[in-house]
Each structure stands twice: as C-alpha cells, then as structure tokens.
Structure 1
Amino acid sequence: MSAANRGVVYKGPGEVAVESIAYPELALGNRKCEHGVILKVVTTNICGSDQHMVRGRTTAPSGLVLGHEITGVVVECGRDVEFLTPGDLVSVPFNIACGRCRNCKSGQTGICLNVNPARPGAAYGYVDMGGWVGGQTEYVMVPYADFNLLKFPDADQAMEKIKDLTLLSDIFPTGFHGCVTAGVGPGSTVYIAGAGPVGLAAAVSAQLLGAACVIVGDMIEERLAQARSFGCETIDLTQDGDMADKIEVILGEREVDAFVDCVGFEAHACGCNHGKEAPATVLNSAMSLTRAGGQIGIPGLYVTEDPGAADEAAKQGSLSMRFGLGWAKSHSFHTGQCPVMKYHRPLMQAILFGKVNIADAVNVQMITLDEAPKGYADFDGGAAKKFVIDPHGSVAA
C-alpha cells in the first residue's frame, strides 16, 4: 500500500513547514520490519521538547520530520504482528522500545538499548534519538508494535475522549512520572516548576495522587490562570521576593515535601532578572525549597549539547548546581525520559472512567496540519494551550 503523506518539517531555527514526505514503509534500513505497523494518524501533539529544537537550541538537522506524541489507527501490519489488526485505535508511547533488551525487560523503556546506535533511548522525530521519522504527519511507521502500542478497548468510546487520550503518548505519563519520582502521595505538599503543558499535567497528576496542596510557579499569567482553574495555588515568578517566603504564605511552612521540575534547560532567572537565562535556577530552587529527606522529580528536559546557551559550560550541558545542599538535605533526584508504558494503561483507565479531565487542565486546542506552523509560533509565545494536530479531520468529524 502507498499513498500521499505530509508532515511538519524542521527547516532551521524558528522555522517549520508542512511538506510532502515519503509514505512510510515497513522497513528498517534495508530490511523488512515485520514487527511494525503503519498508522493513519488521528491526533499528534506539539510538545515543548519540539520547541527546543525549533528555537535552534539543539543540534537538530534541517529536514527532520517532527513529532513524538502520536495516536492513530492501524492500517497495515507486518507479518510478525500478532495482537493488533487494521482498524485498531492505539496510543503510541514517545519512547521507542524493542521489548527484548535488559532495560526494556526491567520496565526502563525510555532507555532501550537496541533502537538508537548513538545512546540508550529513542523517540520519533527527535534530535539524537535514533533518526526515527516523526509523527506530526498523516501516516507513520511504528516498530515493535505488539510491545509498544496501547490499544484502546473500544474505539468509539475512545474517540469521544480523544482530546484526553491523545495526551497518553507523552505529557500525562511524563507529568505523572515526575510526581511519582518526587514522592507525591496522599497529603503531600508539592511545588511544580513551570505551567506549560507538562507542568499542568504534573499538577493534575499530583492531585490524582492525593496531594494536599499543589503550588505551580511560572512567569506567564495566562498559564498561571490555567493552573488556578483546576484548584492549584500559583506563584508569579516575575515578581521579586524570596521563594521560601512565598511558599510560607501559602503553606505556613517554608519548604514542600516534593518538587517537580517541568522547565528544563531553558530556565530563566526569577524576579527582576527574569529575562535572563539561568539554566540551573530550577534545580537550585528545588534543593532550597524541598524539605530534608524530600524527593525531586526532573521530567524537564536537559541536554548534552545546547548551542544557544549563554556560556560555554552550559553549551556542553554543564550547569552550576549547589549540589552540596542537596547532599546535606539527603535529597533524592530522578531524571530522564518517562517510561511511558509504565503508566499509560492505568492513566487510560483514569480517563475512561472519568477520574481525571486532563484535556481541560492543559487546555487542548485542536488545529489542522496546515495550522501547525502557527501553532508552533503561538506556543513559543507562551500560549496557555496544548496544540493537538488533527491531520485527517478525524476529530473534527
């Protein structure tokens, strides 16, 4: 089977375009990919991680087809696919995992050893993540399909909640993972750094895990208002003042039980210096504001190479952290890609049974494929929205 295909292509810093691209094949290099499937993409989301590349803050090459948050319908299966059939509606974890290596077998699917020759771990349409074609497209190939894909039990029911379920490919599990690794549980007090889509997903996840109080900090009022819309306390980081004082006003205490960094390496200084990049500022705040013995989850992206960094050390991913403070307070730090498969099925159940309204929390905005360049621009401007592309008009229909 072959057909036309279009996708969102990175052209260079600040520029993406929707272009005709090759229709996917069940192939890996020169060999047949019998364990793969081809999907007709139903929804595919713009992620903050994509923005790092589009801003020119990574070594992403021009011509890269973007997109790692994919939900689709199976249209073709390789010979070795046993448990999926054409017509199945599935969620695609952004991690590509073989299911066979030591890490996959232990549930660490974010650092599969067999899908990226350069380093452990791979993702669709992302720099240094194995060269896999992205899914901000009309059609995409997914390898190791029986292992990777989450089939929705009832396609019609799933389409009714597709704006929520599309977030299972990345940001909902990622936010949830950040909270789990920060030790969030019933009665916890939690600080979420960043009110972008992952930060808002983490805030909802903290509530789902039973947190007593969730505080979200950001520099964009529209995003803070979005956090308040579902019951979070907020802190405007453009305002001067000591962060511990601000925490104390809310909690009556100067520290939180759990801290989740949903900002990453493009962090900016707070207060009067908020226009200045300070890539370690969130990590240092985490150590200052988390109680002794507390945990710090770091789903925010940090990179090994940042050509746009303000200083030479940061260009190599070297940050000036006050690590001795974290050691003195016996903090636990957890970094790295979320292993999506660890969480996506239970989070699917939470959505289907009405326990969480994640699409409302992150303010999903549906757009067409041709509107993707504008979606990137609006998102880069700080819009308090999660842009979800509907390439075939399936959701609109």
Structure 2
Amino acid sequence: MPGNRVVVYQGPGQVSVEQIDYPKLELPDDVVDGLGLPKQAPHAAILKIVSTNICGSDQHMVRGRTTAPVGQTLGHEITGEVVEAGDDVLFVKPGDICSVPFNIACGRCRMCFEGKTGICLNVNPARPGAAYGYVDMGGWLGGQAEYVMVPYADFNLLRFPDRDQALEKILDLTMLSDIFPTGYHGAYTAGVTTGSTVYVAGAGPVGLAAAHAAQLLGASVVVVGDLNADRLEQARSFGCETVDLSRSGELGDMIAEVLGEPEVDAAVDAVGFEARGHGQDAAEQPATVLNDIMTIARAGASLGIPGLYVTGDPGGVDENAKVGQLGVRIGLGWAKSHSFTTGQCPVKKYNRLLMNMILSGKARIAEAVNATVLPLSDAPDGYQQFDRGAAKKYVLDPHGMVAA
C-alpha cells in the first residue's frame, strides 16, 4: 500500500507536508455522525493526483483569517487518475483522468437536482455545501496530496475523453476544478455578453480567470483593477486594460480614462473579504470592492461576486467584520436596480463546456493565470510566494506527471 503525503496547516503563515494514511472508500466521521450516512462508500473512487493547485481560498486559512484549526489538511483543486473504484461506480474506471469539482455533491438531493451543487444538502452537517480540505466544509481530507478519495464518483468526476490529450493540456485542464469555472461564473452572472464593457476587481488567479472568461463571452473591453503591479502586468499580457488602485483618486475617473465614461456594463468582485482600500498605503476595508462595483456598474447591471466572504474571521478589522457583517452600501445597489450573485460556483454547471473550450484551443487559461509547476514538497514555498503577491498560479505535481 503506498503512502500519502498531504499539505497541512500548522498555524498562521505556516504549512508543512505530512504523511497520512492512504485513503479508504469511506466517508468522513463528521458526515457519518452528523447526517447518519453509512461509513462505507461503494459510490467512491480513489484518485492518484496528477495536479493540485494552491488557491486564494486556501491562503485565507493559512493567513489565520478563518477558524481553521491547526492540522487542517488543505487543497480542493484536484485533477487525478482513478486507481480504485467502489462496487457502485459504473461509469469511471481505473486509468481514467478526471477533473474533480471542488464542490462535493451527492447528486441526489434537491439542490443537486436543481444544479446547485455548491450547496448540496448531504455532504456537510454544518451547513449546505462541502469542499475538500476546507474549514467547516464537512471534514473531507484535502487534495494537495498524493491520493484522495472522491465520493459519489459517477456524479462528481468529469472524465477527460483522451488520456494523452489530457496530459498534454493538463496545465489548462487543472484549472477546471475551481478557478476557471469560478471566474466564468463571476463573469456569466454579471451578465457579460457580446460587446460588454467589464470591470474585474482583483488580478489574482480568480480575477484573471474572470477576465479571460469575459473575453470568451464576447466582452469588448475588460478592465482589471489591483494594487499589485506584477499582477496588473499579467492581466495586460492577454489583452486586458488595467487600473492601478495604488494610485489615489476615484475608481470612476480611472475607468473613464480607459473607456471614456466612468461606468461599465458588468462588474465582478474577485477579491472577497480581505479587500483593501485605494492608495499606496491603503488599509484593509472589507466592503471596499462591493461598494466599488456598485459605484461603477451602470443602472440595471448585474454584479458577479465569486470572491470569498466568510462568517468567521478572527483577523477582521472590527467586531462586525469578524462575523462577516460589512459596511455595504446596499441603498446604492437598490437605487441602481442592481442584481447580485454570491456563493460558491456550482462547478458542474460549467466544467464540461469549459473543458471543450480548452481541448479545442479556444481557451488558454494556463497562460492567462501564469500557471507555474512545483513539486508537492515545495508547497510551503509556493504558499509563501503566493502570499507575497506573486503573479502566478501554483500547480503542485505530486507524482511528476505534469512534466511528463
């Protein structure tokens, strides 16, 4: 039986790679005890992980900005090869290379039937919705590892049609587990369409994915805002306009410098609750981006909000922020008849179609987010570099399969 190394949170700013048991076809105790489900999981599969990515959502935990305990395993962006399938798994088999949506979903509850797989009712006793390796999300082990167990495999796994083609395009396909669908969800729910002008707040990987998605949806101009010069340069590398939020001044005026008017047709918040204000030495202001996108989105616009907001933030700037209560100008949004879409992206709604865009060469998401490969043992360094603002999307390669 092979071993299994996994990335583990060791306290604010610290992760390590630790040895744990090889996975079994069993559900986590939290799910078994809280939902009364059987421990044995013949509907599950075990995957040898081909690639697994470091996500900004992981970084929130590693910064100590959630209630994640020391010992929390990490990683929810998973692509892998099936090496074992339970007796009830009918449609995937050993040798298949598959993308794993970060949302864990049963495929049998009301939410799953409605396509809302981000809020499945049967995978987390604490609240609707679950994810691998994330605090308060059901106790599922993380996927920044060598092997992982995927429940309800027939429903959750997206099998790539050709193994050789998948390995050739793995740096693009690895983004299907989260950030490409999440960015697309942000742009799509913001109403981006042919000829739209679009503002994307945040030039991290999700923001860059949203910007690329907006281009695929037909936007005429995509403007990306950030404080980080390297990340803004990355946005420009694939045709985006940018605004440097380290400058003083009003965002609408910066938008007008690009578009000739101070508003856009659609806006996306790809930052979330650790947002900062504008200017060179701006302090954290968690409602900044939400208020910005209401300010510069035209009347009647839709706002996509894939950026993460939490109900527990020990590092919040005040007592309200610590429980996710922010100073959002809802009156402004109401007066402008804005609509808002929040919450986890339902990855299965988009991943198959985005896979087709990658395999056909229409989408080049790895280039857009500057995918950068590291061995699993270098995960701690990847976290540190990402936290310092590197304009890269770190892809961990546990078995040396990405290079091959």
Give TM-score scaled by structure 2 length.
Answer: 0.97
Secondary structure (helix, strand or coil) at the match of 1:348 reads helix
Match of 2:22 in 1: 23
State the one-letter code of the partner of 1:10: Y
For each residue in 1:224-283, what CA deviation from the matched residue of structure 2 results, as whole angstroms up to 9, or x when unmatched? 000000010000100011111111111111110100000000000101442x00000000
Matched, 1:346 2:360: no
Q: 1:373 aligns with which of 371, 380, 384?
A: 380
State the one-letter code of the partner of 1:263: V
Matched, 1:79 2:87: yes
Match of 1:3 in 2: 2
Match of 2:323 in 1: 316
Secondary structure (helix, strand or coil) at the match of 1:277 reads coil
Matched, 1:251 2:250: no
Match of 2:146 in 1: 138
RMSD: 0.7
State the one-letter code of the partner of 1:134: G
Secondary structure (helix, strand or coil) at the match of 1:201 reads helix
1:356 deviates by 1.2
Match of 1:332 in 2: 339
Which runs of no fewer than 5 residues in structure 1 stay unpaired?
none
Match of 2:402 in 1: 395
Alignment of 1:61-80 (within 5 A): 61-80=69-88
Secondary structure (helix, strand or coil) at the match of 1:318 reads coil
How many pairs are equivalent?
A: 395
State the one-letter code of the partner of 2:7: V
Matched, 1:50 2:58: yes
Match of 2:32 in 1: none
Q: Distance in 2 between matches of 1:228 and 1:371?
A: 29
Secondary structure (helix, strand or coil) at the match of 1:178 reads helix
Match of 1:190 in 2: 198
Which runs of no fewer than 5 residues in structure 2 stay unpaired?
30-37
Q: Distance in 2 between matches of 1:79 and 1:360?
A: 39
State the one-letter code of the partner of 1:8: V
1:31 deviates by 2.0
For each residue in 1:142-195, what CA deviation from the matched residue of structure 2 results, as whole angstroms up to 9, or x when unmatched? 000000000000010010000000000000000000001000000000000000
Q: Distance in 1 between matches of 2:22 and 2:212?
A: 37
Secondary structure (helix, strand or coil) at the match of 1:256 reads coil
Q: Distance in 2 between matches of 1:148 and 1:31?
A: 19
For each residue in 1:302-347, what CA deviation from the matched residue of structure 2 results, as whole angstroms up to 9, or x when unmatched? 0001000110000010000111010000000000000000000000
Q: Distance in 1 between matches of 2:396 and 2:120?
A: 28
State the one-letter code of the partner of 2:76: H
Secondary structure (helix, strand or coil) at the match of 1:259 reads strand
1:396 deviates by 1.7
Q: Distance in 1 between matches of 2:320 and 2:403?
A: 47
State the one-letter code of the partner of 2:181: P
Alignment of 1:247-286 (within 5 A): 247-274=255-282, 276-286=283-293
Q: 2:363 aligns with which of 336, 356, 364?
A: 356
Match of 1:168 in 2: 176
Match of 2:13 in 1: 14
Q: 1:158 aligns with which of 156, 159, 166?
A: 166
Q: 1:236 aligns with which of 237, 240, 244?
A: 244
Q: 1:385 aligns with which of 374, 392, 396?
A: 392
Q: Distance in 2 between matches of 1:302 and 1:171?
A: 16
Q: Distance in 2 between matches of 1:292 and 1:211?
A: 18
Q: 1:178 aligns with which of 186, 189, 211?
A: 186
For each residue in 1:81-110, what CA deviation from the matched residue of structure 2 results, as whole angstroms up to 9, or x when unmatched? 000110000000000000000000010000
Instruction: State the 4+ residue runs in structure 1 displaced beyond 4 angstroms.
Output: none
State the one-letter code of the partner of 1:214: V
Q: 2:102 aligns with which of 94, 104, 108?
A: 94
Q: Distance in 2 between matches of 1:304 and 1:112?
A: 19
Q: Distance in 2 between matches of 1:364 and 1:39?
A: 22
Q: Distance in 2 between matches of 1:211 and 1:272?
A: 30
Q: Distance in 2 between matches of 1:211 and 1:155?
A: 33
Q: Distance in 2 between matches of 1:83 and 1:223?
A: 41
Secondary structure (helix, strand or coil) at the match of 2:136 reads coil
Q: Distance in 2 between matches of 1:128 and 1:150?
A: 25
Matched, 1:148 2:156: yes
State the one-letter code of the partner of 2:6: G
Q: Distance in 2 between matches of 1:168 and 1:375?
A: 20
1:45 deviates by 0.2
Q: Distance in 2 between matches of 1:74 and 1:242?
A: 51
Q: 1:129 aligns with which of 134, 137, 140?
A: 137
